């Protein structure tokens, strides 16, 4: 690009794009025009924003090309974020690490069978999304392996809590149109246990989109720098899929144990009716949430998930 100009001619121009991948100073930016460039964060910006706004995949940025520094695109502006999926260390906001910025939704994929679905594990993913104020939808893939009645029963508690539960099959094609509509033009984080069919689904919807498999998350920390963190896959019609092998590691870090109950949407109507304002919803008399569980208004399974997650935060 600098070749068209003489070395003395100042050639500075800017473009906007989204950070699709990066670690430790080198970032890949997908420009709105469709090309992808490598850029680094301008030193001054890094200094100014060290404590406030760290760059993350999903961030929209302005990059500037400067021919006095051949081959270098510099990230000169980070645009304001509308949402974030963050891992917060107990140290608070200063220690938070943003896994993906500007997400519209989290898609949690489970299989109807093989591997056996675990509603309690699903609840953990749902709580992580709720704690990050992100919309979350449930995909039940491999619906070809179970009969419709069994399928309906699988995540009935989560559906009753208001979550959209979409059955799909990468084999028969069931639900794929609805899934396509769900992701098109939006920024989605795709997560769930390995082997449930995340890559199969994305390959059917968007041939050529190369998702990393769930197994890579285990080896991520063993030296391969470039695979750490989320990778964004821009979609043909706009939006992106964030391949987030590390979402499970995002875990419940930084969620206060007293905020866990509020991450279960169907608990919310009861939480202000407990006799004690600091009710832990475990043993106290006059607990409106436990009353609702006993009355069958709140499903026992969801309450058990709540107890388990809250216990983790108390002991951990």
- Residue 279 contacts which entry, Zn ion, ligand GDP, none (Cβ below 5-8 A, type-dependent): Zn ion
DSSP 290: H
H or E stretch covering 158: helix 156-160
If one asks whether residue 214 binds ligand GDP (CB under 6 A), the answer comes out as yes
For residue 138, the minimal CB distance to Zn ion (Å) is: 27
**Using the rule CB under 6 A, is 220 a contact of ligand GDP?**
no
Closest CA to 103 of 131, 133, 138, 76: 133
Q: Are strands 165-167 and 135-141 parallel, antiparallel or unpaired?
A: parallel
Structure tokens that stand for 41 in this block:
């964060």
Q: Which of residues 138-177 bind ligand GDP (CB under 6 A)?
A: 141-142, 144-145, 169-171
In the bound state with ligand GDP, the residue whose beta carbon lies nearer, of 172 and 226, is: 172
Contact call for residues 147 and 214 (beta carbons, < 8 A): no
Convert 8-40 to b/e letters by CB count within 10 Å (16 or more is b).
eeeeeeebebbbbbbeeeebbbbbeeeeebebe
Strand-pair partners of 101: 84
Q: Does 213 bind ligand GDP (CB under 6 A)?
A: yes
β-strands 97-101, 36-41: how paired? unpaired
Partner that binds at residue 312, options Zn ion, ligand GDP, none, CB closer than 5 to 8 Å by kind: none
199, interface contact from ligand GDP, Zn ion, none, CB < 5-8 Å by kind: ligand GDP
Report if residue 209 touches ligand GDP, rule: CB under 6 A: no
| Smallest separation (angstroms) from Zn ion to the CB of 126 | 20
Letters for 276-305 (x = contact with Zn ion by CB under 5 A, - = none) are: ---x-x-----x-x----------------
User: Is 231 near ligand GDP (CB under 6 A)?
Assistant: no
Residue 245 in the binding site for ligand GDP (CB under 6 A): no
The β-bridge relationship of strands 231-234 and 240-243 is antiparallel
252 binds ligand GDP (CB under 6 A): no
Nearer to ligand GDP, 78 or 112 (CB): 112
**203: Cα within 13 Å, side-chain hemisphere:** 11
Cis peptide bond N-terminal to 116, omega within 30: no
Nearest-approach distance from CB 235 to ligand GDP, in angstroms:
17
Q: Which is nearer to Zn ion, 149 or 283 (CB)?
A: 283
The two structure tokens encoding residue 3: 């070749």
For position 200 contacting ligand GDP by CB under 6 A, the verdict is yes
Q: Calculate the alpha carbon distances from 231 to 18, 28, 63, 188 in Å.
A: 11, 10, 19, 12
Give 266's Cβ-side CA count (13 Å radius): 21
Per CB under 6 A, the list member of 19, 106, 126, 196 interacting with ligand GDP is 196
CA–CA dist 209, 20 (Å, integer): 14
**Residue 262 binding ligand GDP, by CB under 6 A:** no
As measured in angstroms, the least distance from the Cβ of 268 to Zn ion is: 12
Cα–Cα–Cα angle for 75, 80, 85, rounded to 5 degrees: 100
Q: Which of 274, 292, 293, 309 binds Zn ion (CB under 5 A)?
A: 274
Regarding 197 and contact with ligand GDP (CB under 6 A), the answer is yes
Tokens found for residue 204: 């059917």
Q: For binding to Zn ion (CB under 5 A), which residues are involved?
A: 274, 279, 281, 287, 289
Q: For binding to ligand GDP (CB under 6 A), which residues are involved?
A: 141-142, 144-145, 169-171, 194-200, 213-214
């Amino acid at each position: 690009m600098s070749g068209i100009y003489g070395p003395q001619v100042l050639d500075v121009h800017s473009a906007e794009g989204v950070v699709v991948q990066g670690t430790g100073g080198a970032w890949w930016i997908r420009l709105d025009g469709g090309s992808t460039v490598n850029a680094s964060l301008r030193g001054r910006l890094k200094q100014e924003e060290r404590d406030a706004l760290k760059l993350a995949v999903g961030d929209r940025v302005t990059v500037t090309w400067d021919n006095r520094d051949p081959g270098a695109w510099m990230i000169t502006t980070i645009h304001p974020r509308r949402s974030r999926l963050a891992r917060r260390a107990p140290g608070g906001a200063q220690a938070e690490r943003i896994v993906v910025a500007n997400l519209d939704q989290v898609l949690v994929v489970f299989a109807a069978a093989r591997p056996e679905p675990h509603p309690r594990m699903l609840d953990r993913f749902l709580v992580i999304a709720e704690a990050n104020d992100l919309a979350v939808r449930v995909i039940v893939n491999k619906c070809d392996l179970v009969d419709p009645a069994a399928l309906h029963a699988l995540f009935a508690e989560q559906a009753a809590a208001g979550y959209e539960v979409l059955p799909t099959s990468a084999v028969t094609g069931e639900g794929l149109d609805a899934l396509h509509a769900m992701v098109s033009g939006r920024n989605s984080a795709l997560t769930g246990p390995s082997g449930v069919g995340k890559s199969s689904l994305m390959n059917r919807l968007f041939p050529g989109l190369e998702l990393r498999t769930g197994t890579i998350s285990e080896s991520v920390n063993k030296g391969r720098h470039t695979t750490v963190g989320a990778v964004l896959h821009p979609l043909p019609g706009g939006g992106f899929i964030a391949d987030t092998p590390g979402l499970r590691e995002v875990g419940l870090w930084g969620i206060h144990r007293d905020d866990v109950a509020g991450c279960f949407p169907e608990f919310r109507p009861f939480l202000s009716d407990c006799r004690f304002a600091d009710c832990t919803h475990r043993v106290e008399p006059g607990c409106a949430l436990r009353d609702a569980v006993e009355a069958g208004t709140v499903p026992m399974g969801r309450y058990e998930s709540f107890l388990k997650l809250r216990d983790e935060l108390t002991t951990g």
